[in-house]
Each structure stands twice: as structure tokens, then as C-alpha cells.
């Protein structure tokens, strides 16, 4: 027992050391400040707005129906479920690796009986032996931190997987919101197409009656019919798009979305909260995909420590204590106590693979650095694009609304002139086409504005959980 105590104390003292290189976070290969210029105008509504990563998705999405769909998706979406299972798998793998630091205790019972001839004897002799023991089987004492380095690598990979799950949740929340908004926009387009069809059908019926009594030429009748048929095509097209949007929403939610949760049109969706990109691009370092890349970089760094430790002696111990007797009844009597221990030191002399393995780990770290830097660059572009869209979509919406008002008046005046017989019907058709296109464009820009708000919230790290679970190591 004194020997076990000495070995345990020695292991604790020496296994705290590793040969992992000191980690330092690489410099972000992007500007500290966000882009500026005519496309990046800051709106007054975003001044004092919260940072996206600090705003829970329930606070950002104020629409109650959308909140319920997102909740359903977070429970039932299969991609997110797989991501969560990957986290559990990575945690189990880390615990397996960490367990190598501890001795493995095993107990065994043995019983042998042999009928042999002993030298000098005149006949065969029966030999019996019984034993019970508790022992440590091949415990590597981690003097140079090889196992601890591998354990640290597994821990960082576990954290990376947890960050991947957060990324999956952010993506899912944004995709559900975008699908919800797209469905609302297509339903509004469907209503617009249906109302256009009704008005065009009424105009066609009027012109047909005038044609039948000889007050309108056939050209006017055929031109009116083209607008009716075009409106029928749009009604069918938007009916199909709305059905596909609902299918996409059901897939994201992981189950059919109840009809009472589906929006009737875009105008009834509650406004989204404004978010701030922060005063510096350092806010990107809080994004889970960048944290994931950094965890993988730390894992590659820890793997170097394990490769370095392979150049040093590996010390292991096998030992056991127990009882042995040639008689089963005397197995636990006084004097039957036995023990053994077998320390082993393996000293590497030459193995070319260890040098190659060390080179591989160093190259892996450089690859991880490049991937980490690329993740930051990609994140910076995504945020910059969303900010450029936010800075210009307001002007587009204002101009489009003015266009809708102007084409509405033009359509009204051209219709009035035609009914008084001072203009041809072709001008009415042109005005109606322009109004219909302007109305569709206004719906599209409103959708683009809302979708960009969702996009900006997601690319700034909003919609995920607070952080990965903690696992001591």
C-alpha cells in the first residue's frame, strides 16, 4: 500500500506538465472598423440598439405565431437533433480519453489443477492452486503529458462540436424566420394576383358587352383577354409557391405547422427588433462558427504536445495484490497474502515515424490557423453585405412606394380617359401592367428588408444559446 501511495503522488506531480506549445490567438485578418460609405448609412432606429449576440431570439422575433413555429423547430428539426447527438458523442469520446489518466483496476479469480510428474517422483502428482487478486493493468504514468495532451485535444474537439450545434441552431432559427416571411410574401402576392384577376375579369366583361353592341373594337377585347389570362397564370404560380413555402416550413419545423400559425400576408407580421453591429468587428469573435474554428485550432495545438511527448520514455506499471493458496479452504487464511508489481520503461531510440508525426501535427496547426482566419474573413463579409443592404433598402422602399402611388394615379387617369372615349385601351393595359409590377416590387422590397434584418441578426451571432456546456478537464 505504501508503494501505491508513492506511485499515486508521483503521478499527480508529474502529470500536470505537458509539452503543448503556448497558445496565442491569431490576429484577425480583417479591419477593426466596419465598412463606411454611402451604402452603410446608420439609421436612427439602430442607435442604442442591443448587440445581436446579447438578444435572445424570442426578444428579436416579436410575432407570436413565428415564435411558436421556431419553438417547434428547435424541438423537432432533425438536423439540429443530429448536431445535439454529435455533442453527446464528442463528450463521451473526451471522457474516454481522459479516463486513460487513471489506473484501471481489475479483479480476478483463478483456479488451476494439474496432474503432472515431478522429477524424482515415482508417479503422477496432482497440484492445485487457487488465487484471488486486485490489480492495476498496464497503467501508463503520464510523466511527459502525452495522455494529458490527447485529453486536452479531445476536450477542445468536444467544445468545437458544441459550438457547431450553436451554429446549427442559429441557422435553423434564421431559416425558419425567412421561410415564414417568404410564405407571407407569396400569400400577399397571391391575394394581389387574385384581386388583379377579378378587376381584369370585370374589365373584360365590360369590354365584351361593348364589343357585342359595336361600341368597342375586337382589338380591345383581345387585349383585355390577355390581361385576364396573365392574371390567371400568376394566381396559379403563387398558389404553387405558397404550397411549396408551406412544405419548406414543415420540413424546418420537423412536423406539420398548424394552419392557424401560418401568416395571411406580410403586412400582418410584427416588426423585428433592430440590432447593432457593435463599434468594432471584434464582435465577430463571439460567433459560434469562429469559436468552433478556434477550438479546433486549440485541439491541433494540443496534438503537438502529444507528438512531442512521443520522443520521451513511456513509463507504465502493472501490479496486483491478493491471496493465493494450494487449498481452496486456505485462500483467505493468514499467510496467503501475495503481491507483485512490474514497472516498465520504454525508451524510444529511433523511429522515423515520430518525426513525421510531429511534422504532421505542426502542419495541421497551420491549416487550422488558415481555416480560423478564413472563418473570420467570411463572417466579416457576411456582416458587411447585410449592413450594405440595411443602409440602402430604406431608400429603395421609399422610391418603390412612390412608384406605386404614381402608377396608381396613372392607371386611374388612363381608365377614366378610355371610358370617356378620348384614349385607346392599350394605354390602360400599359398603366395596369406598370401598377401590378410596382405592387409586386413593393412586396419584394418589404420582404427583402425583413429578411435582411433576420440575416443581420444571424450573422452577428444572434439566435444561439449562451455558450457551450462546461466540462472540467
Kindly report the CATH number assigned to the domain that includes residue 136.
2.20.200.10
Q: What is the pLDDT of residue 240?
A: 96
User: Do 62 and 26 share a domain, yes or no?
Assistant: yes
Q: What is the pLDDT of residue 378?
A: 95
H-helix segments, 262-351: 288-309
C-alpha cell at 323: 491471496
Sort 266 into a burial class: Cβ within 10 Å, 0-12 / 13-18 / 19+.
buried
Number of residues written out for the chain: 473
Q: Is residue 43 part of a domain?
A: yes
Q: Is residue 4 part of a domain?
A: no
Confidence band of 473 (pLDDT split at 50, 70, 90): very low
Phi, psi dihedral angles at 263 (to 5 degrees): -75, 145
DSSP 249-286: HHHHHTSPPPGGGS-S-GGGSPPPPP-B--SSGGGGGG
User: Do 216 and 265 share a domain, yes or no?
Assistant: yes
Place of cell 409590377: 437
Q: What is the pLDDT of residue 330?
A: 59
Structural domains in the chain (count): 2
- Looking at the DSSP bridge assignments, the partners of residue 132 are 109, 323
User: Do 259 and 299 share a domain, yes or no?
Assistant: yes
Confidence band of 41 (pLDDT split at 50, 70, 90): confident
User: Do 256 and 323 share a domain, yes or no?
Assistant: no
User: Do 246 and 366 share a domain, yes or no?
Assistant: yes
User: Do 125 and 253 share a domain, yes or no?
Assistant: no
**Residue 198 belongs to a domain with what CATH number?**
1.20.1600.10
User: Do 214 and 332 share a domain, yes or no?
Assistant: no
pTM, two decimal places: 0.83
- Looking at the DSSP bridge assignments, the partners of residue 125 are 116
- Whether the per-residue pLDDT at 388 is higher than 90: the answer is yes
Q: Is residue 468 part of a domain?
A: no
Q: Is residue 441 part of a domain?
A: yes
Is the CB of residue 317 less than 8 Å from the CB of residue 344? yes
| Average pLDDT of the residues in 445-465 | 92
Supply the range of the domain harboring residue 320.
103-141+313-347
Q: Is residue 44 part of a domain?
A: yes
Q: What region, left, alpha or beta, does residue 214 occupy, with left being phi > 0 and alpha being psi -120 to 50 degrees?
A: left
Amino acid at each position: 500500500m505504501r508503494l501505491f501511495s508513492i506511485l499515486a503522488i508521483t503521478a499527480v506531480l508529474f502529470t500536470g506538465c505537458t509539452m503543448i506549445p503556448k497558445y496565442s490567438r491569431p490576429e484577425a485578418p480583417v479591419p477593426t472598423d466596419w465598412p463606411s460609405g454611402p451604402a452603410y448609412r446608420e439609421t436612427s432606429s439602430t442607435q442604442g440598439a442591443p448587440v445581436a449576440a446579447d438578444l435572445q431570439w424570442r426578444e428579436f422575433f416579436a410575432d407570436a405565431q413565428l415564435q411558436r413555429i421556431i419553438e417547434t423547430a428547435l424541438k423537432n428539426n432533425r438536423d439540429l437533433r443530429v448536431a445535439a447527438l454529435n455533442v453527446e458523442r464528442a463528450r463521451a469520446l473526451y471522457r474516454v480519453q481522459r479516463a486513460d489518466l487513471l489506473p484501471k483496476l481489475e479483479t480476478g479469480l483463478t483456479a488451476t489443477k494439474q496432474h503432472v510428474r515431478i522429477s524424482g517422483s515415482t508417479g503422477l502428482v496432482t497440484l492445485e492452486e487457487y488465487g484471488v487478486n486486485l490489480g492495476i493493468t498496464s497503467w501508463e504514468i503520464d510523466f511527459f503529458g502525452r495522455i494529458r495532451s490527447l485529453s486536452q485535444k479531445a476536450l477542445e474537439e468536444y467544445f468545437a462540436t458544441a459550438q457547431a450545434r450553436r451554429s446549427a441552431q442559429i441557422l435553423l432559427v434564421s431559416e425558419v424566420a425567412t421561410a415564414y416571411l417568404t410564405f407571407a410574401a407569396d400569400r400577399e402576392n397571391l391575394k394581389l394576383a387574385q384581386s388583379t384577376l377579378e378587376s381584369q375579369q370585370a374589365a373584360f366583361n365590360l369590354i365584351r358587352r361593348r364589343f357585342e353592341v359595336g361600341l368597342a373594337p375586337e382589338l380591345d377585347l383581345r387585349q383585355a383577354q390577355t390581361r385576364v389570362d396573365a392574371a390567371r397564370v400568376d394566381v396559379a404560380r403563387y398558389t404553387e409557391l405558397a404550397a411549396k413555402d408551406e412544405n419548406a416550413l414543415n420540413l424546418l419545423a420537423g412536423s406539420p405547422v398548424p394552419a392557424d400559425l401560418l401568416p395571411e400576408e406580410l403586412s400582418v407580421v410584427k416588426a423585428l427588433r433592430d440590432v447593432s453591429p457593435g463599434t468594432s468587428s471584434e464582435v465577430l469573435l463571439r460567433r459560434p462558427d469562429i469559436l468552433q474554428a478556434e477550438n479546433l485550432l486549440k485541439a491541433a495545438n494540443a496534438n503537438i504536445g502529444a507528438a512531442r511527448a512521443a520522443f520521451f520514455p513511456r513509463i507504465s506499471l502493472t501490479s496486483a495484490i491478493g491471496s493465493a493458496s494450494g487449498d481452496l479452504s486456505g485462500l483467505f487464511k493468514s499467510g496467503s497474502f501475495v503481491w507483485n508489481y512490474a514497472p516498465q520503461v520504454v525508451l524510444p531510440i529511433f523511429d522515423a515515424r515520430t518525426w513525421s508525426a510531429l511534422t504532421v501535427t505542426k502542419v495541421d496547426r497551420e491549416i487550422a490557423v488558415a481555416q480560423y482566419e478564413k472563418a473570420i474573413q467570411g463572417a466579416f463579409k457576411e456582416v458587411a453585405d447585410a449592413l450594405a443592404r440595411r443602409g440602402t433598402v430604406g431608400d429603395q422602399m421609399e422610391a418603390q412606394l412612390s412608384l406605386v402611388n404614381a402608377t396608381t394615379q396613372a392607371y386611374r387617369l388612363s381608365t377614366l380617359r378610355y371610358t370617356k372615349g378620348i384614349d385607346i385601351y392599350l394605354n390602360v393595359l400599359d398603366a395596369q401592367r406598370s401598377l401590378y409590377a410596382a405592387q409586386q416590387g413593393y412586396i419584394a422590397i418589404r420582404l427583402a428588408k425583413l429578411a435582411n434584418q433576420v440575416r443581420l441578426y444571424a450573422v452577428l451571432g444572434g439566435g444561439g444559446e449562451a455558450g457551450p456546456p462546461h466540462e472540467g478537464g
